[in-house]
Amino acid sequence: MKIDILSLFPEMFEGFVNTSIIKRAIDAHLVEVHIHDFREFSNNKHKKVDDYPYGGGQGMVLMCQPILDCLKSIVTSESLVILMSPQGRTLNQTYSQELSLEKHLIIICGHYEGFDERIRDYVDVELSIGDYVLTGGELASMVVCDSIIRLIEGSIKEESHEDDSFSSGLLEYPQYTRPFEYDGNTVPDVLMSGHHENIRKWRLKQSLLKTYRKRPDLLIKKELNEEEQKILQEIKEND
Ligand code: 4H6
């Protein structure tokens, strides 16, 4: 996969592309990430990228010319053009999985009060990471990239995202590591038993219990199999 990001603040991405799993995925050529400073595309002698809003009002608006000339220099028929915006469709795990199969993503990040509306004519998807406002689209774009890149085959151990909260439609079960006892709190016996079937059942029950208590909305959407329905019934009777 190739990801091109259009931003006025390319330095914000340095930590992101040079750290941990994302760095490893880039080094392994699973993904290419290119940051483009669209100010460099400004035709204006002062490299201006924004101007006052027609009709008056607060703040500045990003102009079409620098962003769209930058976009036109990289877009192909295989690109999916994404605009980060609080008005966009909200990202979730299912959509991250779909996006992780794309060949080429172009992500536009804006600042100031927003964009000239005509930029939207060149965008395939307007995307939001949640119902809150950020000073710019950069952090939002990194959230999107992080969630997509870890899903690219080879980026993390194959099975390790099948258990992720949300991929299964349930929250993740509790995990423990050494030591066996910390501040008088011990690890549940079943995890020390080596009995794989009992461990599987315990984890499934804990996932259902956590989801029931913290995110009951997820249970409404999810289709439960017979085993899950039975365990959930027990949970409801004992709660
Ligand atoms: C487009 C339009 C994404 C982008 C306006 C971006 C939140 C998200 C932005 C703006 C973003 C999200 C500029 C409006 C600053 C408010 C950049 N905020 N804003 N939820 N901000 O994904 O002023």
| Ligand 1 neighbourhood includes 129 CB (under 6 angstroms) | yes
Q: What is the DSSP string of 165-220?
A: TTTSSSPPPP---S-SEETTEE--HHHHS--HHHHHHHHHHHHHHHHHHH-HHHHH
Question: What are the tokens at 65?
Answer: 């010319």
Q: What is the per-residue pLDDT across 71-92, written as a single tens digit (0 to 9) for each?
A: 999 999 999 999 999 999 999 9
| Ligand 1 neighbourhood includes 134 CB (under 6 angstroms) | yes
Look up 4 and say whether it is catalytic.
no
d(CA 166, CA 162): 9
Residue nearest to atom 17 of ligand 1 (CA): 136
Sequence-distant (6+) residues with CB within 8 A of 95 are: 89
| Cut 0.75: pTM above it | yes
Sequence-distant (6+) residues with CB within 8 A of 5 are: 13, 33, 34, 35, 36, 106, 107, 109, 141, 145
Q: What is the per-residue pLDDT across 150-173, written as a single tens digit (0 to 9) for each?
A: 999 999 987 777 778 788 899 999
Residue 223 Cα to ligand 1 middle (Å): 35
Q: Classify the C-alpha dihedral 210-211-213-214 as positive or negative.
A: positive
Mean pLDDT of 26-43: 98
Q: What is the per-residue pLDDT across 108-164, written as a single tens digit (0 to 9) for each?
A: 999 878 999 999 999 999 999 999 999 999 999 999 999 999 999 999 987 777 778
Atom of ligand 1 nearest to the CA of 109: 4
Look up 10 and say whether it is catalytic.
no
Residue nearest to atom 8 of ligand 1 (CA): 86
